[in-house]
Structure 1
Amino acid sequence: MTMHGANTQSGAGRPNGSLEEQYGALAVDTALSTLLAVLVYVLLKVSLDGIRQWRAKVSVLIVGSGPVGLTAALVAVRSGKVLKLTVLDERPRTALLCRPQQIALDPRSVKFLLGLGVDFDNMEGCWHNEHFFTKIGVFQEYLLSILEQKKQKVNVKVHLGVKFTEDYLRRLPGQDWPRIIVVADGSCGDSCSVLGISSDYIVESCNAYGANATIERLDQRQVPTPEIRAHSLYFDLSAYGVDAIKETRGVTQAAAMKPGFHLKIYGTFRNRYMALVCPLSDSKMVRFLRHTTNSSIMKNIFYQSFNAYKTDIEPRLNELTQRHMQCSRKLFEVLLSHRRVSAAYVEGDNVAVTVEGEAARVLNFDTGCGVNLGMRGLESLGRFIYRTATAVDRNDVLEALSAKIQHSKQVAESFRQTGLASAMFQ
């Protein structure tokens, strides 16, 4: 009896244990199936998203074929996300390539351009202190030649002598509408107004006073030359009733003052430019040069400065060439203007627009800083094109535009704080 009862109890326990094991196995199978389904879904989605992003390409229109516009075109081609690239400029090719003005590419711009595949060894110019000096026309011709070589991978079309207008946009077939427009037509361009982008600017001081001069010497060579810089300059204006330096207990007043003026001579030997700048101050000399009505004073300062610091192989300025010099009448405050809106979304046409170069930021001081300031804005253009090309919806495009605007503001603020100082005071 006892043994039979034990057998009965043992037999009764087998079905219960078997049922629990079945439920446990079923739960494990369900969990594994769910996990497998989730993993398959995630892998499939990641793969599809990866394929979509890899295949995603957009058409880009660049308005303006100056140094910044053509560099922007090179950034677009190198991004790997451009199916079709169109470059417009209302100037004909000859007008672009004959520009004699010299540009100075600073080390940061040189590094950026090297990353885009620019070979400076194959470009007419010269090096000095890690800066590269060349003519605008030479630089533009080189970039155009690179774009011509990229036609095998990207559908590149350069239309020179074609103005960007509302009529041009109306005549574009629907399938040819760009997804991204880069406006780089300079401070005098009207592409932003065509696209309905506000022309409202923020104007800020660079904490400096400056003046500039230019002279054309037709008997000199049109070849790039390194910049000449001179620092801590003071000028003898005693003939005008201003004593710049006075002895005070054995120490000159100049030694106790902030550093004086900074001079830069640049450009080709034929087209010579000079820039004079000093930090904001309220010294007697600065006040005098800020408010003088005698236009010959600044001309005499540039005349004497050039002859003192010119290269040994170029002739001195004389009274005859001095008459042909054009220069500022007096010191002015150096200002940086930048657009409040540097990127926008044209909703009806589903187009993202970014404004670059002088169309976005303008410095009222011709020191050769403009091109480098424009290059700073292009440092985020490749990322902007990638994010716009791979955007899933309108919110993704707006986030890309917001990031581009933020970078544009950072460029302006950084230059206002330290840009002029690093370009002129060092």
Structure 2
Amino acid sequence: MDAVNVDSPVDRFNDSVEEQYRTLAYDTALSTLLAVLVYVLVKVSLDCIRQWRARISVLIVGSGPIGLTAALVAVRSGKVLKLTVLDERYRSALLCRPQQIALDPRSVRFLLDLGVDFDNMEGCWHNEHFFTKIGVFQEYLLSMLEQKKQKVDVKVHLGTKFSEEYLRKIPRGELPRVIVVADGSCGDSCSVLGISDDYIVESCRVYGANASIERLDQRQVPTPEIRAHSLYFDLSAYGIDTVKYPHSSSQPAAKPGFHLKIYGTFRNRYMALACTSDADSKMMHFLHHTANSSIMKNIFHQSFNAYKMDIEPRLSDLTIHHMQCSRKLFEIMLSYRRVSAAYIEGDNIAVTVEGEAARVLNFDTGCGVNFGMRGLESLGLFIYRTATALDQNDVFEALSAKIQHSRHVAETIRQTGLASAMFE
């Protein structure tokens, strides 16, 4: 007969102990896993609640188009408890500005997302661009901010200058968490905050000239831009052999000619003339180096009469003295701040610089395409990340992302900004 293996009492005891150990280990692992899951769920829930409830105070310096748009972006972020807008100018000085602002399709889409209703704003459309007076635009944005007071504590202090004294008067616990500097290229808020005035200056590889006409007998009516391309001017009287102006299709040019833009209201008319550095012609070099200031005036005079709207009067020899213009072509440069965002550690304040306070073209494209809107596209996320930051590292990451976006905006303006504003 075969032998039968029978477990001894010791073996049975050992098996029982091992089974108990396995059960205990399983129960312990399961309990640990459940504890970790509960901890994670509680932490995530608390973080979500904290982020949902997080609110900060924001101070915006400057109530121009960029400053007021920045205020709407701040309200839209949903993370602002108190919003303060400062400007040393009074309301009458702001709303009476006659200059025309043009908003390109990208800026229009951005403003539509903020709730701007262009159908209820004085202005006109042309090629998906919206044209209005700066004062009208600012008044509309101010009225929108008034309506936001139900959700956010909005205070607009006009006639109040931002200074070190203003900051000292704010109680320590009520200092803003974010300051947006949008006081233009001549503002001194960056100096007050200790932000370096060091600028990077780069060529746009474009040459340009400007002219302005003020005719008091005309109305301040917003009008679409007029653009003309491939222009050549007859400078034979000055000893320069060129294709006769305007350029004839039977005489094709080897290189691009000049681009003209007429813009502004009927009362305040502006003109911009530009050509790329690729247009390496005798004409361009002559107009860049000439000392005869009357040449550019004659070019703008003839250009305006050739391309103006039919319903506006011509410029005559009697009215040309109302026109001011560049003496010659100049190289168009882009200047932008090396430091466009900063952190004031002692007061725990994050600062970002927007609009012309951050970057400036030495060429007026007509308030045309308002390049300052580009920088505001990342402002909402910056405010959100600053409001929900757990520590300084989170704030630094938000500042770093904002700086990178600002540099990207500057590079885009330098490479393609003028092309979209002038050449297309």
TM-score, normalised relative to structure 2: 0.96
Work out the CA distance in 1 between the residues paired with 2:213 and 2:162.
34
Secondary structure (helix, strand or coil) at the match of 1:75 reads helix
5+ residue gaps, structure 1, are none
Match of 1:214 among 212, 215, 239: 212
Partner of residue 373, structure 1: 371
Work out the CA distance in 2 between the residues paired with 1:371 and 1:359.
16
Report if the CA contact (8 A) 1:68-1:371 is conserved.
Answer: no
Secondary structure (helix, strand or coil) at the match of 2:212 reads strand
Partner of residue 350, structure 2: 352
Which moved further from structure 2: 14-23 or 128-137?
Answer: 14-23
Match of 2:325 among 324, 327, 332: 327
Partner of residue 395, structure 1: 393
Mapped pair 1:225 → 2:223: yes
Report if the CA contact (8 A) 2:215-2:322 is conserved.
Answer: no
Partner of residue 20, structure 1: 18
Partner of residue 87, structure 1: 85
Partner of residue 255, structure 2: 258
What letter matches 1:402 in structure 2?
S
The share of aligned pairs that are identical, in percent, is 82
Partner of residue 64, structure 2: 66
Partner of residue 265, structure 2: 268
In the TM superposition, residue 12 of structure 1 has moved relative to its aligned partner by 4.4
Secondary structure (helix, strand or coil) at the match of 1:140 reads helix
In the TM superposition, residue 19 of structure 1 has moved relative to its aligned partner by 1.7
In the TM superposition, residue 22 of structure 1 has moved relative to its aligned partner by 1.0
Work out the CA distance in 2 between the residues paired with 1:88 and 1:126.
30
Secondary structure (helix, strand or coil) at the match of 2:69 reads helix
Which moved further from structure 2: 319-328 or 81-90?
Answer: 319-328
Work out the CA distance in 2 between the residues paired with 1:172 and 1:37.
46
Secondary structure (helix, strand or coil) at the match of 1:345 reads strand
Secondary structure (helix, strand or coil) at the match of 1:372 reads coil
In the TM superposition, residue 96 of structure 1 has moved relative to its aligned partner by 0.2
Q: C-alpha deviations, 1:380-426, integer Å up to 9, x for none? A: 00010011001100111111111111100000001101110111111
Partner of residue 156, structure 2: 158
What letter matches 1:105 in structure 2?
L
In the TM superposition, residue 10 of structure 1 has moved relative to its aligned partner by 5.1
Partner of residue 287, structure 2: 289
Partner of residue 235, structure 2: 237
What letter matches 2:74 in structure 1?
A
**Which aligned runs of 4 or more in structure 1 are off by greater than 4 angstroms?**
none
Report if the CA contact (8 A) 1:224-1:267 is conserved.
Answer: yes
Work out the CA distance in 2 between the residues paired with 1:142 and 1:73.
13
Structure having the larger proportion of residues in helix: 1
In the TM superposition, residue 176 of structure 1 has moved relative to its aligned partner by 2.1
Report if the CA contact (8 A) 1:184-1:358 is conserved.
Answer: yes
Which moved further from structure 2: 170-179 or 98-107?
Answer: 170-179
Report if the CA contact (8 A) 1:262-1:276 is conserved.
Answer: yes
Work out the CA distance in 1 between the residues paired with 2:253 and 2:59.
55
Mapped pair 1:277 → 2:268: no
In the TM superposition, residue 282 of structure 1 has moved relative to its aligned partner by 3.0
Report if the CA contact (8 A) 1:357-1:371 is conserved.
Answer: no
What letter matches 2:238 in structure 1?
Y
Report if the CA contact (8 A) 1:358-1:370 is conserved.
Answer: no
Q: C-alpha deviations, 1:283-330, integer Å up to 9, x for none? A: 111111011111111011000000000111111111122011000000
In the TM superposition, residue 11 of structure 1 has moved relative to its aligned partner by 4.5
Work out the CA distance in 1 between the residues paired with 2:5 and 2:402.
81
What letter matches 1:35 in structure 2?
L
Partner of residue 310, structure 1: 308
5+ residue gaps, structure 2, are none
Residue correspondence of structure 1 range 172-191 to structure 2 within 5 A: 172-191=170-189
Q: CA RMSD in A?
A: 1.6
Partner of residue 194, structure 1: 192
Which moved further from structure 2: 37-46 or 11-20?
Answer: 11-20
What letter matches 1:377 in structure 2?
G
In the TM superposition, residue 378 of structure 1 has moved relative to its aligned partner by 0.3
Q: Matched residue pairs, number?
A: 418
Which moved further from structure 2: 366-375 or 64-73?
Answer: 366-375
Work out the CA distance in 1 between the residues paired with 2:5 and 2:283.
117
Secondary structure (helix, strand or coil) at the match of 1:255 reads coil
Secondary structure (helix, strand or coil) at the match of 2:370 reads helix
TM-score, normalised relative to structure 1: 0.95
Partner of residue 381, structure 2: 383
Which moved further from structure 2: 317-326 or 57-66?
Answer: 317-326
Work out the CA distance in 1 between the residues paired with 2:369 and 2:67.
11
Work out the CA distance in 1 between the residues paired with 2:284 and 2:323.
22
Work out the CA distance in 2 between the residues paired with 1:54 and 1:11.
63
Mapped pair 1:119 → 2:138: no
What letter matches 2:239 in structure 1?
G
Say if 1:198 and 1:371 are closer, same or farther in 2 by CA, change over 3 A: farther
Work out the CA distance in 2 between the residues paired with 1:186 and 1:161.
16
